[in-house]
Amino acid sequence: MHLRLLATTLSALLCLSAPAAAESVSEEEAERLVETVSMTSDAPAADDELVLLPGQGHLNPKAPHGRHAANRLVPGGGLIMSFDTNDDGEVTREELRIGADAAFILADANKDGTLSALEQQDWARDLPTRDDTLANPVRFDPNLDRLVTRDEFVAVIAQLAAAYADPGGTIMIANLAAPEPKENDKRYREMTDLDREEDAARN
């Protein structure tokens, strides 16, 4: 939980520290924003999820899963996988466009046509897989104006999906599985330890 709080606070501060692209923010305003972020991230330990590196894509136990569920996915893989509405094992350009638009509408909780950092993080938290790539407010806000428009959101999803698409623009669901980490990878050992601790806490 402390790592999530640190990551969320750091993301908020990064959004605030763009002097060339944004208005300056008073210290009081910055402290209030950090305090707000801290309060929204402070969940009971029982409900706390693992803080994962981008692309680790472990399944979110609270979210619904389709037949394409996998243990580890590439960054954004869970979201892209959810766009396969006809369950044919591939995501077409049209499914990607419709899915990205639907994701924006879902994320825009207050229906004002833009996403705040908190709206985006809440949306990412409820996805079928836990993926910090999608929870990072800076990734979706290239001009650092602290608001994500529909065009910015859809463009980032399209850019992310393009890395997995074939030359015709189709994404095969099978290609969204992340490679298994090497046994000697330090992060793999750490995640294995965390998984064991989480399993022990559940039993």
Are 83 and 96 contacting, i.e. CB atoms less than 8 angstroms apart?
A: yes
Are 144 and 138 contacting, i.e. CB atoms less than 8 angstroms apart?
A: yes
Burial annotation 136-164 (CB, 10 A radius, 16+ → b, else e): bbebbbeebebbbbbebbbebbeebbeeb
Distance from C-alpha of 60 to C-alpha of 57, rounded to nearest angstrom: 9
Residue-range definition of the domain harbouring residue 156: 2-53+60-202
Distance from C-alpha of 55 to C-alpha of 203, rounded to nearest angstrom: 27
Position 157, amino acid: I
Position 198, amino acid: E
Distance from C-alpha of 23 to C-alpha of 113, rounded to nearest angstrom: 21
- The count of domains in the chain is 1
Place of tokens 């606070």: 9
> Residue 126: what pLDDT?
87
Are 188 and 181 contacting, i.e. CB atoms less than 8 angstroms apart?
A: yes
> Residue 189: what pLDDT?
55
Q: How many residues does the chain have?
A: 203
Position 152, amino acid: E
**20 secondary structure, DSSP code:** T
Distance from C-alpha of 171 to C-alpha of 89, rounded to nearest angstrom: 9
Per-residue pLDDT of the chain (203 residues; tens, 9 = 90+): 444 444 444 444 444 443 333 344 455 554 544 443 333 333 333 433 333 334 444 445 554 444 444 467 888 888 999 999 999 999 999 999 999 999 999 999 999 999 999 999 999 988 877 778 888 888 888 889 999 999 999 999 999 999 999 999 999 998 888 877 666 565 555 655 566 666 567 65
Tell me how far the alpha carbon of residue 76 is from its chain's centroid: 7
